Chain A
Amino acid sequence: MSDTPRMTADTPPAPAATPPMLELENVAKSFGAVVALRSGSLRLERGSIHALIGENGAGKSTLVKIVAGLYRRDAGDFRLNGESVDFGSTAQSKAAGIAVIYQEPTLFPDLTVTENVFMGRQPVGRFGRIDRKAMRAEVEQLFARLGVGIDPDRPAEGLSIADQQVIEIAKAVSLDARVLIMDEPTAALSGVEVDRLFQIARSLRDEGRALLFISHRFDEVFALCDTVTVMRDGAYIATTPIGETTVDGLVRQMVGRDVTDLFPKLPAEIREPLLEVEGLSSPLFHDISFTVRAGEIVGLAGLVGAGRSEVARAVFGVDAYDEGTVRLGGRAIPKNRPDAAMRAGLALVPEDRRKQGLVLESSVARNVTLAIRETIAKAGLITSGMENRAAKEWASRLEVKTNALSTVAGTLSGGNQQKVVLGKWLATEPRVLIIDEPTRGIDIGTKSEVHRLLSELAGRGMGILMISSELPEVLGMADRVLVMREGRITAEIDRDDATSENVMFAATHAQGAHQ
């Protein structure tokens, strides 16, 4: 498969006699120079449950946000019942009969369930008095129809996510929404809750509504949906009736791209084990064991929410874990002690550098020396001179593009910020570096610089654990790929054997990912 989609051949088949409920054709959306959606197409029919799947960053969320009225499209067609529409607000989308149920619903915690269902459109009587009885009666009717027994008078606070979703669905049904979009609704649900949700979804389908179900779980897609649309790299790939496809076929459509030699991974001598994690478990992940050796880059792949960052945070000691051990160079690191982990030679470059990695208001020099304050201080005092001397070396080695070390970190570009965070941790001279999404939101040029740097560090004997949601990055950089799915490591694949298909398969499907 080629990387450039052939527009004409890749758009859905020509319209039938009655126009589809909702139709998107070659919709595009950019944010500045970043293209979030190149050419999104989708066709939802009445009485159908349609699945939308694709890798992280395939453009699914952008597409949904355009439909929901949160974003305005730059180009392309968007039709409802055959009529062209353009939503400037969520209210307009709602009024047109579209309801979006997000993974984590937003309800008013202090208000009752009933008020949450009706907020903004309560039935009113004389003097604008809200008719509580009518409201309550309608909620009972709705809940009976959906088969749920949530107490309508309790506040929304403390409700499970499943119940909150049901309230969102009740809201949508009471609005008589014709199009329901569920964005990864099952991510936080238990088995029973998923069954209940599916039952509700099917009954809504049988009423003639159009449902869009976004999920990473193939078993659910096959169990619930009748049609599936695949997106990749911000573009529409294919729409297929569920009976005519297989998990393998979908995976191939999701990843079908060439791994380019964008990433200059240099060969490095892989030596003794440095970081050894054994049987690590917490409510968020189970029985995680792996080893990172000196000179090795281990890629940790998986979908967003698979528990990768959680594992990293636990290993580094930011979060606690229930069972298991973490060793570095043979010595155990006590749990929940980031300071001990740092002393042992571990460094963590977090996923969200703006929130967790940088003091945005401080200078580059201060940021770079933040983790080594104690070493550079003399008698507990630090001067700007000391900071600058220590920071200078790292800034030049990392080629941070800034006029002065006194530049405030928040004003740097994403790539340069990432380098500053890297510099901060490299200044501690770690033996093992854990780096979470090293190149998210960074331009191509800086991206390859970061990769070159990681490769160099490994060459000098550092062990690197690289968490990444970008398959090409994992495949290009890692000596070994670990794949996580729903809190477990589901595959360990050597560099030579790793392909987009088998990694994606292990990330999305439960069995048989080893080759």
Chain B
Amino acid sequence: MTATIEKTAVTKRLHAIGAVREFGILLALALVVLAATVANPNFLFSADGWRDLLLTPSILVLVAIGQAIVIITRNVDLSVGSILGLSAYLTGRLFIDLQGIPIVAVFVIAVVFGGLLGLVNGALVAFAKVPAMVITLGTLYAYRGINVLWTGSDRINASDLPKDFLALGTGQILWIPILTIIAVVVLAVTGWIMKNTRGGREFYAIGSDPAAAELYGLRVTRRLLIAFVVSGALAGLAGVLYAARYGTINSQAGSGWELDAVGAAVIGGVAITGGVGSVWGAAIGAWLLLTINRALPILGIPDFWQRAVVGALIIGAIVLDRVLAVRQRRKLLEAREDDR
């Protein structure tokens, strides 16, 4: 052993593997786009094609970011689809019941509302010490039930919503859809926080070894609450944007989104066992997931197979992560032997 400490070859290689993981899905995304564009140039080279490529995944990106943060703490939030649905309907009702309400106020109310629903999840997980999988499965149904009770067979239509608000859903600034800009801003902020602040690193620490986090004296309960509140708030934000983008909201808005969000995070390299991954990976995962959904029909793959492809993608991502993890462990052990 030497006194000066330099990056060892192993460390360098590990950083490379981390980068490769996220670069890998980006590459997969590029291949999908390329294949679809070759089959039909309009997929990329048309105003609509370009817009859809960026716009379609934007709302899921927000939900996936929240999901990634929760999964990194070794939990999961299955209620995000239901929160999104409630928030979307709340948005519609606010515009209908409080004519002339400022759009900003609607955003704030929906985000706070989503955050509160997330707080319920977090409190149940952190204080009742019940696995998040069970708690959020419960709130998935509970929140959706409230939604059905509240909405009934009612439906909010685009004509009920202000034009300025709907313009947000499809509008662009310099070729870039507004929703995409919102998603990227949120992504940049959460990504920075997760990487560079104590709070962000503590999410990773808690997911990496919850028992060690307690021994370190980290405020685990508080962190878990924050993770679920952020996930709920982002689902709330996604709900407003959902209303703006689609205009039509019934009691089933956002159903099934929780699985897309978990899938996006896993495809993006967020380990379901916590402690590993990034919100950037989850965001790219969401992008890939929805882009594949759009590309498959263009590539002439029957509807029937599309879900199977998504499934294969998720399993492939998990297998890849396992292989990388096993290789990493072996390299680290080898490095340790070299030290002797």
Q: Which residues of A contact B (CB under 8 A)?
A: 89-91, 94, 106-111, 115, 119-122, 124, 127-130, 140, 143-144, 147-155, 157-160, 163
User: B7 contacts which chain A residues (CB < 8 A)?
Assistant: 151, 153
User: Is B201 in contact with A115, judged by CB distance below 8 angstroms?
Assistant: yes
Q: How far is the CA of A375 from the CA of B90 in the complex (A)?
A: 65
User: Is A111 in contact with B333, judged by CB distance below 8 angstroms?
Assistant: no
The total of chain B residues at the interface (CB under 8 A) is: 39
Q: How far is the CA of A128 from the CA of B193 in the complex (A)?
A: 9
Asked whether B30 is an interface residue with its Cβ less than 8 Å from the other chain, the reply is: no
**DSSP class of A's interface residues: helix, strand, loop or mixed?**
loop
Asked whether B137 is an interface residue with its Cβ less than 8 Å from the other chain, the reply is: no
User: Is A158 in contact with B333, judged by CB distance below 8 angstroms?
Assistant: yes
Q: A154-B11, A154-B14, A158-B329 are in contact. Are A108 and B198 (CB under 8 A)?
A: no
Partner of A108, one of B5, B209, B329: B209
Q: A119-B216, A151-B7 are in contact. Are A111 and B198 (CB under 8 A)?
A: no
Asked whether B296 is an interface residue with its Cβ less than 8 Å from the other chain, the reply is: no
User: Is A124 in contact with B198, judged by CB distance below 8 angstroms?
Assistant: yes
Which B179-232 residues sit within 8 Å CB-CB of chain A? 196-199, 201-202, 204-205, 207-209, 211-218
User: A130 contacts which chain B residues (CB < 8 A)?
Assistant: 196-198, 201
* Minimum Cβ distance to chain A for residue B19 (Å): 14
User: A140 contacts which chain B residues (CB < 8 A)?
Assistant: 5
User: Is A119 in contact with B201, judged by CB distance below 8 angstroms?
Assistant: yes
Asked whether B335 is an interface residue with its Cβ less than 8 Å from the other chain, the reply is: yes
Partner of A160, one of B204, B205, B336: B336
Contact with A along B6-18 (1 / 0, CB 8 A): 1110110011000
Partner of A110, one of B2, B208, B216, B336: B208
* Minimum Cβ distance to chain B for residue A260 (Å): 40
B11, B15, B198, B214 — most chain A CB neighbours (10 Å): B198
User: Is B336 in contact with A111, judged by CB distance below 8 angstroms?
Assistant: no
User: Is B5 in contact with A111, judged by CB distance below 8 angstroms?
Assistant: no
Q: Which residues of B contact A (CB under 8 A)?
A: 1-3, 5-8, 10-11, 14-15, 196-199, 201-202, 204-205, 207-209, 211-218, 275-276, 328-329, 332-333, 335-336, 339
User: B211 contacts which chain A residues (CB < 8 A)?
Assistant: 106
User: Is A154 in contact with B10, judged by CB distance below 8 angstroms?
Assistant: yes
Q: How far is the CA of A106 from the CA of B204 in the complex (A)?
A: 15
Q: How far is the CA of A152 from the CA of B85 in the complex (A)?
A: 46
CB nearest to B334 among chain A residues: A158
User: B208 contacts which chain A residues (CB < 8 A)?
Assistant: 108-111
User: Is A149 in contact with B336, judged by CB distance below 8 angstroms?
Assistant: no
User: B218 contacts which chain A residues (CB < 8 A)?
Assistant: 119-120
User: Is A149 in contact with B5, judged by CB distance below 8 angstroms?
Assistant: yes
* Minimum Cβ distance to chain B for residue A245 (Å): 34
Contact sample, A vs B, 13 pairs, CB 8 Å cutoff: A90-B214, A108-B275, A110-B207, A110-B275, A111-B204, A119-B201, A120-B205, A130-B197, A148-B1, A149-B3, A149-B339, A154-B11, A158-B336
User: Is A109 in contact with B5, judged by CB distance below 8 angstroms?
Assistant: no
User: A119 contacts which chain B residues (CB < 8 A)?
Assistant: 201-202, 205, 216, 218
* Minimum Cβ distance to chain A for residue B171 (Å): 31
Q: A89-B217, A109-B209, A110-B275 are in contact. Are A151 and B5 (CB under 8 A)?
A: yes
Q: How far is the CA of A91 from the CA of B276 in the complex (A)?
A: 26
Q: A108-B209, A120-B202, A124-B198 are in contact. Are A90 and B8 (CB under 8 A)?
A: no
User: A149 contacts which chain B residues (CB < 8 A)?
Assistant: 1-3, 5, 339
User: A111 contacts which chain B residues (CB < 8 A)?
Assistant: 201, 204-205, 208, 275
* Minimum Cβ distance to chain A for residue B340 (Å): 8
CB nearest to B211 among chain A residues: A106
B2, B201, B218 — most chain A CB neighbours (10 Å): B201
User: B213 contacts which chain A residues (CB < 8 A)?
Assistant: 108
User: A159 contacts which chain B residues (CB < 8 A)?
Assistant: 332, 336
CB nearest to A102 among chain B residues: B215
Q: How far is the CA of A150 from the CA of B10 in the complex (A)?
A: 12
Q: How far is the CA of A168 from the CA of B87 in the complex (A)?
A: 46
Partner of B275, one of A109, A129, A144, A153: A109
User: B201 contacts which chain A residues (CB < 8 A)?
Assistant: 111, 115, 119, 122, 130
Q: How far is the CA of A147 from the CA of B4 in the complex (A)?
A: 10
16 additional contacts (CB under 8 A) given A119-B216, A154-B332, A157-B328: A106-B212, A108-B204, A108-B212, A110-B207, A110-B276, A111-B204, A120-B216, A122-B198, A128-B196, A128-B199, A149-B3, A151-B7, A151-B11, A153-B11, A154-B14, A159-B336
